[in-house]
Structure 1
Amino acid sequence: MSDPQPRAPRQTDRWLEPGATNVQVIYVLYLAGLVIGVSALVGVVIAYVNRGKAGGWVETHYTWAIRTFWIGIAYVVVSFILMLAAIGFLLLFATAVWFIVRCIIGLQAAGRGEPIKNPESWLI
């Protein structure tokens, strides 16, 4: 038998919808990715799925998050290559700090409802 009343979406499903909460979840997944690597992959997939759907200031966060992931991967690859010259260890640490700072900047801006000032930036 069918249910006569349509089901209302659960409150917990809202984090999947494009918006401020979704962006904050992506940043938290990125930070968890420093310990559990696969969560960062989940975060970038969510960012790609929701990019272009939100509009406004949230769109800058999706661009920032996607670029943070891919630029971070590039920095890690360069760091691993330079580990042969021993400077790679220092660069790997610097990359982790850079990644954490970008996530914190994104979390703070999303919490205030502000866009990222320069989402195309390679630095901070």
Structure 2
Amino acid sequence: MVSLLYIAGFVIGITGIVGLILAVVWRNEVAGTWGKSHLKFPIRTFVIGLVVGIIGAILSFVLIGTPFFLALSIWILVRSVIALLKAQKHESIADPNTWLF
């Protein structure tokens, strides 16, 4: 559900923040490694995305921020789709702490 909210955030901006809030609230309520990895992964996606987005905004002043925003969008989309596919198969995320996929 959190990953769907992140994907919807590309169209309706506020849903990404709603997804983060839900992931943080549900993080302590979920039992087992499967659920915990599926909540840690999107939380890290949001935090890393926020940091890269801030860097991209700063670099926009020197006109090189656009590639950062494009790469960030693709990165968030790929991580969200991977999380959805793993959730559909009831598989845990292998390494939810990773920066990549």
1:29 aligns with 2:5: yes
Larger radius of gyration: 1
Structure 1 portions without partners, runs of 5+: 1-24
Tell me how far 1:45 sits from its aligned partner.
0.7
Distance across 2 between alignment mates of 1:122 and 1:85: 26
1:98 aligns with 2:71: no
| Partner residue, 1:22 | none
| 1:33-112 map, 5 Å | 33-56=9-32, 57-112=34-89
Distance across 1 between alignment mates of 2:50 and 2:12: 15
Residues 1-50 of structure 1 deviation map (CA, whole Å, 9 limit, x = unaligned): xxxxxxxxxxxxxxxxxxxxxxxx11111111112111111111111111
Structure number with higher relative contact order (C-alpha < 8 Å, ≥ 6 residues apart): 2
Distance across 1 between alignment mates of 2:96 and 2:20: 15
Distance across 2 between alignment mates of 1:51 and 1:112: 20
Q: Percent identity?
A: 37
TM-score between both structures, scaled by the size of structure 2 = 0.94
Distance across 1 between alignment mates of 2:88 and 2:16: 20
The amino acid across from 2:84 in the alignment is L
Tell me how far 1:84 sits from its aligned partner.
2.1
